[in-house]
Chains A and B, each alone.
Chain A
């Protein structure tokens, strides 16, 4: 996969990495340009050149990874939606279709980060890392499905902590029988931050459930909005802190997401403009599919006889986290457990400190009463899980059994959501405007 920018001859930086076919294809226009077939041929050349670049770009971006075999599911979902309106199928297909898009989005963000330097790159990674979940949540928010937003974001945290980490520990432990070690202090600090973030998120819920609000129903909304603004400020500081003081950590996380090889090969595979264009197009595609996804949640829940809670907490986050999942497992199997931990816990912290407050603020702007009042069940489970995780990371070692336990705990959580229904099944969809 290592190849070089195609643009012109002076960018043939690492010729040793270029494969012969590409070289042959590249060589031709460059030579032509150099020996000057001027005006006419230049036009023709330009179109051909753009075509060549487009094809090459497509090749790198679209056809490079196996997961993109799922790509046709996206258009298939749209087709099925117009043909049959069978919500179950549309839901599943759009779910499958988003997975490769999310992964490619991560890849493209990665690539863009090369051009923007480490600071903005880290910021980019931090923001777009959970872009899929954010986009899905924004659509759900627009539809007024507040519970879906809350549950999918919470499920994303749970899935990161239990499933992704568990799979990473398990696979790494199977490859390295003796157990692996990781940097205890970084992991403990990250989990401590996560715990603080979760604590900040849970206060409105606790307020509500101890029936100690001044204006029942309204105070917690106000409190939620205030807490969200505070959390966003904390998040801003968190980013500054990470980027300024812990360049090493953020470098690890930056290069962690997509490059399988060793760290020193920071070569971008596509140009900056291509990256931006692809980013925009992927984001657009994800947005389109998310709309279908969100619109069909309720229908799918009825058609497949699965509670909405289960769909929101378990199925939606699997989609959003698929890329991080794969990369965490890959890094664990290469004995780079620190990166896996950084990915998993970092993603959870980002959702807790940025994703959820952002949705609350966005809901505020949209006029939706989105608040931080997760139901008691989810709140309790989230708190217990984060506490147990923080405790478990303290000894700095992992083995396959710990991974197995985490995965089994996730199974139990998933099973409990399968038999879970909201106590007051409030139709929180306002009449469609």
Chain B
């Protein structure tokens, strides 16, 4: 759009600077201003010489400037390459694990940002679809790697932990921070939308639970095999439900969906002004591809290091899968949820948290089962009894809690403490049948 020709690039820069000034911290801002200042002046000169190579290089640098150097979280970016270096040099799985974990966090956040940007070009419908799919891209990539390695329990536990973390930790932090900032009153949110969303989540979780219940009541026709086929059938059914869910949200209930569309990138504070994309469509796609590849690479190292890290750090694999891995995948949503809660836009927060949980339960988990089916791995929906019970109770409790329509910092605190208890219980948890890949 506006970034195509050099003539308008200057105006873009000005608008862009003004917009970004409020959000970006001082040092990168000054660095950026410096850069754009130079380009602003320099573009006039270069235009006359019409050196296209220069233009491309400049655009590349500008793009890098926008995408990489903008938010503070990207200070964590060097950890990625550091993890790879450690993997080859030192062979300490614990460090490799931690560094790749930390290295993925900024990549996941940038992935969300890019999806947001791309959504400008594709219109609200496809944009919503994009957001829905790529919203949990990090978790999906990590899960697919783990699936390929045959670590089925890790997949199950990380996805389940992602739902738990969304419902307890993200919501809890958001409510708590929002409550602290607005300490003199209760924050309200749109009860109807929250209740509808949590009802859908409850149904999705219910659909996921039946194979587990079947297995644990020892009532299968062919022990071990029928639950796999039931899981596969349920997953296909859930994928159909997810398609219906997307259709329903995008077609029938635009209003409900638009706030979620706007919020994903945390670089628009006041959504009243028009949403200006900051990079071109091609740049967005290119960056998307690059970052996805980067996330894949780091996930590979991450997954490979899980076993070793669990031994060297003395943490159960369950704890790593349920608590640590989802923190990575959810970091971006976490940050944006807290930010919106502090700005008293609780509806967006709830939409993010519950929407992400619903997507994981209705799309990512069934998708992993189907992919496992195609890969020939026996991935099923038989989460162990402990996790299943925890998940169901959590979703039920949070769904009931949201019925009131108001929150305060105490509710947030309770949710966070509940998450701590859940995390602690996974710290001392071991699978009854230790059959990790």
A→B interface (CB under 8 Å)? 177-179, 307, 375-377, 380-381, 384-385, 387-388, 391-392, 394-395, 397, 399-402, 404-406, 408-409, 411-413, 415-416, 418-423
Contacts and interface: CB of A to CB of B under 8 A. Distances in A.
A132 to B, nearest CB: 27
A408 to B, nearest CB: 5
Name the prevailing secondary structure of the B interface residues: helix
Contacts of B240: 408
Contacts of A397: 192, 196
Interface in B193-233: 195-196, 199-200, 202-204, 206-207, 209-211, 213-214, 217-222, 226-227, 229-230, 233
Closest CB pairs A-B (n = 10) = A419-B226, A377-B217, A401-B248, A376-B217, A395-B195, A392-B199, A377-B219, A421-B221, A416-B210, A412-B234
B405 to A, nearest CB: 11
B259 to A, nearest CB: 19
Name the prevailing secondary structure of the A interface residues: helix
A409 B205 CA distance: 10
A188 to B, nearest CB: 11
A409 B206 contact: yes
Contacts of B206: 384-385, 388, 409
Given A395-B199, A408-B240, A420-B214, 9 more contacts: A375-B217, A388-B202, A388-B203, A400-B248, A408-B238, A415-B233, A416-B211, A419-B229, A420-B221
A381 B210 contact: yes
A406 B203 CA distance: 8
Nearest to A401: B248
Contacts of A380: 213, 217
Nearest to A393: B199
B28 interface: no
B22 interface: no
B120 to A, nearest CB: 27
Contact of A413 (B199, B210, B400): B210
A420 B396 CA distance: 26
B213 A377 contact: yes
Contact of A416 (B203, B230, B245): B230
Interface in B168-206: 192, 195-196, 199-200, 202-204, 206
A392 B233 CA distance: 24
Nearest to B235: A412
A309 to B, nearest CB: 8
B207 A409 contact: yes
A411 B203 CA distance: 13
B314 interface: no
A400 B195 CA distance: 16
A145 B244 CA distance: 41
A385 B222 CA distance: 25
Nearest to B238: A408
Nearest to A209: B217
A391 B219 contact: no
Tell which of A400, A401, A423 has the most Cβ of chain B within 10 Å.
A401
A381 B196 CA distance: 22
Contact of A422 (B207, B214, B219): B219
26 contacts: A177-B252, A377-B217, A377-B219, A380-B217, A384-B392, A387-B396, A388-B203, A388-B206, A391-B199, A392-B199, A392-B203, A395-B192, A397-B192, A401-B244, A401-B252, A406-B203, A408-B241, A409-B203, A409-B206, A415-B234, A416-B213, A419-B222, A419-B229, A420-B219, A421-B219, A423-B218
A256 B428 CA distance: 56
A387 B202 CA distance: 10
Nearest to A385: B206
A423 B217 contact: yes
A395 B196 contact: yes
B219 A412 contact: no
Interface string B228-260: 011001100110110011001000100000000
A377 B214 contact: yes
A416 B214 contact: yes
A397 B195 CA distance: 11
Interface string B393-433: 00010011001000000000000000000000000000000
A68 to B, nearest CB: 34
A418 B214 CA distance: 11
A391 B399 CA distance: 8
A404 B244 contact: yes
A202 to B, nearest CB: 14
B241 A391 contact: no
B210 A411 contact: no
Contact of A412 (B199, B202, B237, B244): B237
Contacts of A420: 214, 219-221, 226
Contacts of B210: 381, 412-413, 416
Tell which of B192, B229, B241, B396 has the most Cβ of chain A within 10 Å.
B241
B96 to A, nearest CB: 40
Contacts of A375: 217, 219
A72 B140 CA distance: 55
Contacts of B227: 419
Contacts of A177: 252
Contacts of B203: 388, 392, 405-406, 409
A418 B227 CA distance: 11
A183 B203 CA distance: 22
Tell which of A387, A391, A394 has the most Cβ of chain B within 10 Å.
A391
Given A408-B237, A412-B234, A415-B230, A391 B248 contact: no
Given A415-B234, A419-B214, A408 B207 contact: yes
B370 to A, nearest CB: 15
A405 B243 CA distance: 11
A405 B241 contact: yes
A395 B402 CA distance: 12
B221 A412 contact: no
A411 B237 contact: yes
Contacts of B230: 412, 415-416, 418-419
Contacts of A377: 213-214, 217, 219
A415 B234 CA distance: 8
Nearest to B249: A401
A366 B233 CA distance: 42
A397 B248 CA distance: 15
B207 A412 contact: yes
A150 B221 CA distance: 19
A387 B392 CA distance: 11
Contacts of B217: 375-377, 380, 423
A375 B403 CA distance: 33
A274 to B, nearest CB: 46
Contacts of A178: 252
Contacts of A381: 210, 213
B219 to A, nearest CB: 5
B234 A391 contact: no
Contacts of B211: 416
B75 to A, nearest CB: 42
Interface in B314-371: none
B400 to A, nearest CB: 8
Nearest to A405: B203
A376 B215 CA distance: 11
A402 B252 CA distance: 13
Contacts of B237: 408, 411-412, 415
A376 B218 CA distance: 9
Contacts of B218: 423
Tell which of B206, B220, B221, B238 has the most Cβ of chain A within 10 Å.
B206
A404 B241 contact: yes
Contacts of A405: 200, 203-204, 241, 244
